[in-house]
Chain A
């Protein structure tokens, strides 16, 4: 059991190491280094030399990678080019804002998805299922920027209920955030809920068809007791992993949603830093986003392990 957990953590760390290599190499082969980007047309002669010296670009690439990696491990991402300030200071408020947005969406999305998934599974192919399933298919297939744009058009412009665009600085307080956050949260949790509800639905349907549920029915266990005692624990367990992957996948959607609503989070920073060619920030973001992905998956794996008695006795799981 312990060995298994250690192995999972080890695999996650290896993944992060490869990600750091990929982004470092990717940034390395970008045409023009940080100095030519930063100095633009003045990139020649003494100014260029001085800049190269200052940013330490005159040492070989592998040394710079080791240097950078050891700094990152100590939590220091270096300096951003455009703002000339420590990346940690740039990231701090952005991370907080994105966390608020993501956690509110998840807190609304997961319970809603479980309820909807169970309803659609228990009333399979009946009216509630057909209605909810149609809506979920629509909301999960339509791109985030379209549903977000439609939300702004309908709720903010035509009905005039809420502000369409978030106009708060990146260091806004928690309460300022909450009042501005409603439409972005709706946009994100709509898609997330739809994905997860579909998975819960098929998981419940699978369990309902299993032998032990048939057995419980034949034994005369009351319907709702059967649902809550026998079906749900077994159906929700495999859903945890899938839910984790979905949340991680939605990181991309969060980027787009933040841009549509002008929300000052990590996602908008991704676009800003790539437009500005602020490579140190791009590197930092890649590592952070990949860590979130690896972390969520790790937590999901561990939760499945804890909750599943059968896996506890296993040493290695494929």
Chain B
């Protein structure tokens, strides 16, 4: 009974804290705009299959390259598919892939970073060398290699993106762990005889969580950029999946007379990336972490 009360209290405190952070984020116009855009895209991604007016893969020679009208709000593309339908469905692909990708990146990057920071010594040296080496291969080359090795399905893209965007998190988590590990409460936890696992779980993770989460939020927008660039180059999801990068690349050749089919996905992708960026910035500021002097590695 007693312990139940305590955990309930803790739970409530956590919720309250999250709410506080959200409130701080929304108190500035840029944070509010960012949150609104992200929320809009998430809601749209959830309901888009139910509100899409047409079939996203229905090809029809009669409706090729129609200008925007009451029937086709954003016009049609070169295969006669409705651009509005494909644009609102495109957000689903982008959000699903990058959300799970970021989750994987956070998990393995964060845990490996904490481990390296805690263990130190030779293992740490070797791991960081390998991470540095991976960082020095341009992301695009690495991603292209993986994709041409394993194919272009979302089951491949999600772990591949997660892996490649996680290596930067290793660095951040390691640095944050280094800051924490010299503190008194770790020393006293060791003196009390706590195991390494318990120290990681109870002492280190709560203290490095903020830094890692902020990094993860930033990575999310870079991953979206990377993912859509891959699709644009023809190495991302395969057609006829509705995807913004793919739509832009397909419509680009015809944009001198059918600009609508390139404008709609551009607006969708740009607004989502800007929204995530503003949100991540506001999130960092609300947690008191300054990222503005860091390079985008």
Contacts and interface: CB of A to CB of B under 8 A. Distances in A.
Whether chains A and B associate is yes
Contacts of B144: 270-271, 274
A265 B225 CA distance: 22
A290 B137 contact: yes
A255 B290 CA distance: 30
Interface in A252-283: 252, 255-256, 259-260, 270-271, 274, 277, 282
Interface stretch (B55-63, B114-122, B203-211, B266-274): B266-274
Contacts of B70: none
Nearest to B292: A202
A81 interface: no
Contacts of A127: none
Interface string A143-159: 11110011011000100
Interface in B187-238: 221, 225-226, 228-229, 232-233, 235
A185 interface: no
Given A249-B295, A256-B232, A30 B262 contact: no
B63 to A, nearest CB: 23
Given A142-B273, A143-B228, A271-B233, A149 B248 contact: yes
A245 B273 contact: no
A249 B136 CA distance: 9
Contact of B295 (A143, A246, A255): A246
A199 B140 contact: no
A77 interface: no
Interface residues of A, number: 57
Contacts of A145: 228-229, 232, 245, 248-249
Contacts of B233: 256, 259, 271
B252 to A, nearest CB: 6
A19 to B, nearest CB: 5
Contacts of A199: 292-293, 295
Interface string B270-286: 10011001100000000
B100 interface: no
Nearest to A252: B140
Interface string A114-155: 000000000000000000000001100111111001101100
A4 interface: no
A286 interface: yes
A294 to B, nearest CB: 6
A249 B134 CA distance: 12
B149 interface: yes
B133 interface: yes
Contact of A15 (B132, B148, B225): B132
A251 B136 CA distance: 10
Interface stretch (A21-29, A46-54, A211-219): A21-29
A138 B278 CA distance: 10
A18 B138 contact: no
B218 to A, nearest CB: 11
A106 interface: no
Interface in B125-165: 129-130, 132-134, 136-141, 144-145, 148-149
A18 B129 contact: yes
B288 interface: no
A143 B130 CA distance: 28
Interface string B57-79: 00000000000000000000000
Nearest to A18: B133
A94 interface: no
B284 to A, nearest CB: 12
Contact of B145 (A143, A198, A252, A274): A274
B255 A142 contact: no
Contacts of B134: 22
B151 to A, nearest CB: 10
Interface string B8-20: 0000000000000
A270 B142 CA distance: 11
Contacts of A153: 255, 259, 262
Given A18-B129, A145-B245, A294 B136 contact: yes
Interface in A229-262: 238, 241-242, 245-246, 248-249, 251-252, 255-256, 259-260
A26 to B, nearest CB: 5
Contacts of B137: 19, 22-23, 286, 289-290, 293
B39 interface: no
B297 interface: yes
Given A141-B277, A202-B290, A286-B141, A26 B136 contact: no
B4 interface: no
20 contacts: A26-B145, A30-B149, A138-B274, A145-B229, A145-B232, A145-B249, A149-B252, A153-B255, A153-B262, A157-B256, A195-B296, A245-B297, A246-B296, A251-B138, A255-B138, A255-B140, A256-B140, A256-B232, A260-B252, A270-B144
Given A238-B293, A242-B295, 12 more contacts: A16-B133, A18-B130, A19-B133, A26-B145, A30-B149, A141-B221, A143-B232, A146-B269, A146-B270, A195-B296, A248-B136, A290-B138
Please give me the 7 A-B residue pairs with the lowest Cβ-Cβ distance, nearest first.
A245-B295, A18-B133, A252-B140, A202-B292, A293-B136, A251-B138, A242-B295
Interface of A: 14-16, 18-19, 22-23, 26-27, 29-31, 137-138, 141-146, 149-150, 152-153, 157, 195, 198-199, 201-203, 206, 238, 241-242, 245-246, 248-249, 251-252, 255-256, 259-260, 270-271, 274, 277, 282, 285-286, 289-290, 293-294, 297
